[in-house]
Structure 1
């Protein structure tokens, strides 16, 4: 039996988060596909697939995190290269889907960029998308191809089960995240609260009041994404003022910039729990726990490849996760 018969599944990676891709193929038990990715002096990206992929089931791992535009373009070029090399199917594994916050016209004369990115992926030739914790679940409907939307919640749940948290309350740091927080509260058999905020500008938010009881209770703030950390740190501040005991934050995608890191250092968070969907930032002075989603993505890739259901990945300890 030749190598192609042994390994009809191939996983390639762009440059956005190679360590995650290496952990994914390790969990599957196959080598990482060979590809050359370089840039011309003018910044143009060059991609060459360095092995035969004709008739193979190809998965390309590339979160579209900063530098967002570069990583999206690199992903599109890799998809095109795979399609032109006669891959049987190309699946884009996008652990973090950039531009997801631009999912609607919330003011006049603006683009719906999340839909534009979906159009670009399909035009490049992708057959399927695998992603984690979309900022807005309706983005799945922007695609006319299958989208497998995974949750980081099972990974976070298993970690929190080891923490021995007592009298826990799950908190949404804003109104838009209440459904996510409600799902976590049911999964953890915890209370539910909401911080109502006011956005000052793109980098600043102001927590105004709390709906729910948090006094003398452990608190878990949950969100899908943080960049400037303004929402989570201002929520933590008002929760502490309301008498919360210990404050944790569980966030799927930590796309932190220098301002966000500074805010976290000055915050009252006891622990920041994140995943490795994007490259893990160095945050000295903050208690950061990084959870690995590679086994989750690896199992999903295997099931997609073999035509099995991925719905059991939404169950943990007999509970179905509905976020």
Structure 2
């Protein structure tokens, strides 16, 4: 890694670590509010996230009133800031999640898989707090592992992995390094948490929010290979500081494309219902945007 890039990564990481240490001094609920404010009012404008949110909203909802656009430009980073500090507040987060009930049509199917040792793919998106279901199931004694994408900043990645490990293990990095351990865990009857809604250059051209979005088929492919349930799950934030822990009915086995499209459709329903809790900063529709520019 070039020296200048390493130096930038190190300085950025020191600033992030310092901010996190200061926030952790505060009581949990105040900590979340302050983290949301800092992300929304300082980090997001300086980091260009505000512009990216506007671009994505213009692509998907071109007729959205400007007042709503302005609200989402503030609320989306607030949710991101709150979710970030929650991941660094493992015990407080677990204590809050522990009291929340699991709801939805898939709760009993999930419990049955736990009793019988059937593998499960727990699929979610970057909405609410995507680690809430993993935390909730771990507190109930379920064997839940997590698949994560290592951060580009190696200094930040070290304490990020330590933070999410404090919520529960095992964790598997995306790529060849974690693949064999992940498959072994799944085959043993484990439940694997996967976040689906990232752009994948080698993904299938499926649709999400009415636009083409390249989407990884790996969750469905693993489920078919190891006879795993595929269960859409969400941790939706409530105004009172708690979470609605939603376990939807399992996706029927079929082709990987059909199963993954059903997962996209499930997440789309949650995004439309909770617009301010989805991560509109992602470059989710690179292909759709390029096609739009060519017209």
TM-score greater than 0.5 by the shorter chain: no
Quick one: higher RCO (CA 8 Å, sep 6+), 1 or 2? 2
Bigger share in helix? 2
TM-score w.r.t. structure 2 length? 0.31
Structure number with larger C-alpha Rg:
1
TM-score w.r.t. structure 1 length? 0.29
Bigger share in strand? 1
